[in-house]
């Protein structure tokens, strides 16, 4: 088990290296010069070409790309992600402010999606072909196909502008004002969860149906176990491997979803930071952000892989 985790960590590290290398090369092609960007934000108005070259040298932008990558990598190992050209702040500081907001939003959404998605899926599978199954399946199909950013706009129109129930956008830390923070979270969390709930409902339904028709289900029923025990202990646990894989995928996709949702609801999280970074040609922010997001996603994948063994003890890690 330990050796499995170590081997997986090493392969995750390799993947992370390749990812950062790809992103590093791609962002160097971004149009525009980060030095110009830096100067436009600096206090000084006039700079001689020599001074510009000095700044370029300071950022290490005059070196070949592979040296720049190795320099960056060396600093990453020391826990330094460089300095943002635009925000004139350390990338670690900026991400430290933004990541918790996205995590808060994301973790709540993932929890809600898992609970609702799995519950709906189980209901559909157990009551297959009944009205409730049809209803939830149609709902899942609609959820799967609605563009989340558009749903967000509809919600803002209905719940904020027309009914005045919820604030239209913004973010407040739950530590500062819990009531307002929760109110502001309702719509973003709803939008972030739609797709995940829909996908999980469908996945749970189909993998439950696979298990429910197996012989040991009949055995479990005929030895007098209650439906609750049969459904939860005998079938759900055995149906869970594809579901947990799907949950892992949904965590990844949620990092894409936050880019849109944080834009619609004007939330200063990682998604907003990434799009501002990309649009503002801020190499350091994009590289650092991708690294951190990649780490989060690879960590989730590792947890997913390890949990397989718990759901199916036949799985051996070697």
Partner 1 sequence: MVNTELADTMIIKVKPRRSEAKRVITAFLNRKLSVIGLVLIALFILTAIFAPWLAPHDPYQINMGEAMMTPGSQHLLGTDTLGRDTLSRIIYGSRTSLMIGVLSVILGAFVGMSLGLVAGYFGGWVNLVIMRFIDALMCMPPLLNALIISVVLGGGILNVVLALAVGIMPGQARLMCAQTLTVKQNDYITYGRAMGAVDLRMLLRHILPNAFPPLLVAITIDLGMCVLLEGALSFLGVGIAPPTIAWGSMINNGYPYLLTNWEMAIMPGFALMLVIFGFNMTGDGLRDAFDPRLR
Closest to partner 1 by CB, 115 vs 154, is 154
Among 150, 165, 216, 310, binds partner 1 (CB under 8 A): 150
Q: Give every CB contact of residue 105 below 8 A, 6+ residues apart in sequence.
A: 185, 188, 189, 192, 258, 261, 262, 267, 269
Q: Are 275 and 259 spatial neighbours (Cβ–Cβ below 8 Å)?
A: yes
What binding mask, one character per residue, do residues 242-281 give for partner 1 by CB under 8 A, x or -? Answer: ----------xxxxxx-xx--xx---------xx--xx--
Q: What is the nearest approach in angstroms of partner 1 to the Cβ of residue 130?
A: 17
Compute the least distance from the CB of residue 297 to partner 1, in Å.
5
Spell out the residues 6+ positions from residue 180 whose beta carbon is closer than 8 angstroms to its own: 167, 172
Number of shown-chain residues binding partner 1 (CB under 8 A): 46
**Smallest separation (angstroms) from partner 1 to the CB of 255:** 5
Please name which of 289, 284, 291 lies closest in space to residue 83, comparing C-alpha atoms: 284
Which one of 68, 92, 119, 146 is in contact with partner 1 (CB under 8 A)?
Answer: 146
Tell the smallest beta-carbon distance from residue 51 to partner 1 (Å). Answer: 29
Query: Contact at 8 Å (CB) between 203 and 121?
Result: yes
Tell me the C-alpha distance between 238 and 52, whole Å. 63
Q: 8-27: which residues touch partner 1 (CB under 8 A)?
A: 14-16, 18-19, 22-23, 26-27
H/E element holding 113? helix 91-126
- Map tokens 């170590």 to a residue: 6
Subset of residues 180 to 239 that bind partner 1, contact rule: CB under 8 A: none
Other C-beta atoms closer than 10 Å to the C-beta of 87 total 18
Phi, psi for residue 90 in degrees, rounded to 5: -70, 140
CA angle 146, 152, 153 (to 5 degrees): 105
Which residue from 1, 13, 154, 232 is in contact with partner 1, where contact means CB under 8 A? 154
Binding region for partner 1 (CB under 8 A): 14-16, 18-19, 22-23, 26-27, 29-31, 141-142, 144-147, 149-150, 153-154, 156-157, 161, 252-257, 259-260, 263-264, 274-275, 278-279, 286, 290, 293-294, 297-298, 301
């Amino acid at each position: 088990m330990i050796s499995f985790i170590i081997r997986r960590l090493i392969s995750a590290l390799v993947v992370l290296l390749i990812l950062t290398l790809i992103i590093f090369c791609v962002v160097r092609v971004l149009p525009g010069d980060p030095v110009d960007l830096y100067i436009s934000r600096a206090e000084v108005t006039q700079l001689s070409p020599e001074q510009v070259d000095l700044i370029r040298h300071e950022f290490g932008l005059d070196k070949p790309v592979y040296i720049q990558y190795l320099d960056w990598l060396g600093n990453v190992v020391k826990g330094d992600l460089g300095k943002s050209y635009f925000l004139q702040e350390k990338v670690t500081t900026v991400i430290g402010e933004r990541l918790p907001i996205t995590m808060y939003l994301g973790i709540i959404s993932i929890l809600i999606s898992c609970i609702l998605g799995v519950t709906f899926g189980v209901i559909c599978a157990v009551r297959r072909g009944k009205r409730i199954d049809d209803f939830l399946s149609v709902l899942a199909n609609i959820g799967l196909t609605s563009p989340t950013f558009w749903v967000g706009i509809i919600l803002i129109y209905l719940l904020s502008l027309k009914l005045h129930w919820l604030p239209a956008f913004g973010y407040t830390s739950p530590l500062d004002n819990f009531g307002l923070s929760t109110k502001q979270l309702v719509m973003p969390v709803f939008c972030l969860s739609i797709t995940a709930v829909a996908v999980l409902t469908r996945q749970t339904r189909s993998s439950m149906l696979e298990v429910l028709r197996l012989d040991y289900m009949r055995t479990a029923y005929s030895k007098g176990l209650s439906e609750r025990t049969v459904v939860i202990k005998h079938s759900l646990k055995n149906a869970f491997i594809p579901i947990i894989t799907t949950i892992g995928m949904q965590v990844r996709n949620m990092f894409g979803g936050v880019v849109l949702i944080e834009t619609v609801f004007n939330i200063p999280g990682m998604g907003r930071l990434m799009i501002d970074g990309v649009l503002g040609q801020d190499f350091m922010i994009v590289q650092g952000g991708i690294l951190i997001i990649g780490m989060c996603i690879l960590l989730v994948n590792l947890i997913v892989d390890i949990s397989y063994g718990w759901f199916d003890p036949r799985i051996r890690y070697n």
